[in-house]
Amino acid sequence: MSDSKKKDYSKEGISVLEKPPKPVRLRWSHANNSRNHYSFYRCSCGTEFVARDSQIRSGKTNSCGCFAKKVRAHNIQKVHIKKHLKEVEGLSEVKKRKFLKEKYSKQYTKILLELSNK
């Protein structure tokens, strides 16, 4: 997707994840029968991992897997927040607060109330 087509989630109170910096190459590891070269890399989170050099250069691999976990968690959070905001849509302030307090924790209720008022 081009930058102009990306949805701006910051207006909805949802942060947008940025790509992590490229991993740092530590040392050569091995080459397989297909002549693919592998090296040890250090991720921005500090974990060492082995990856194919061409995958790092092309940008297909940009972390040890920690970034993919963050992206999945972030996407799940966006879906849940949107779902919960639909539940309280159209309710008065008092009814919203009562409904959310019964269903969710104090901190999450506070976040949802702030987002529903925007």
Provide the sign of the torsion angle of the four alpha carbons 25, 49, 58, 52, taken in this order.
positive
96 and 115 housed in the same domain = yes
Cβ of 43: how many Cβ atoms within 10 Å?
Answer: 21
Domain identity same for 70 and 56: no
Inside any domain, residue 49: yes
| Residue 37 contacts residue 52 (beta carbons within 8 Å) | yes
Q: What is the pLDDT of residues 4-43, one digit of tens each?
A: 444 544 544 445 556 777 888 899 988 888 889 999 999 8
Structural domain count of the chain: 2
Against a cut of 0.85, is the pTM above it?
Answer: no
pLDDT, tens only, 41-98: 998 888 899 999 998 888 888 888 888 777 777 777 777 777 777 777 777 877 877 7
Q: Does residue 40 lie in a domain region?
A: yes
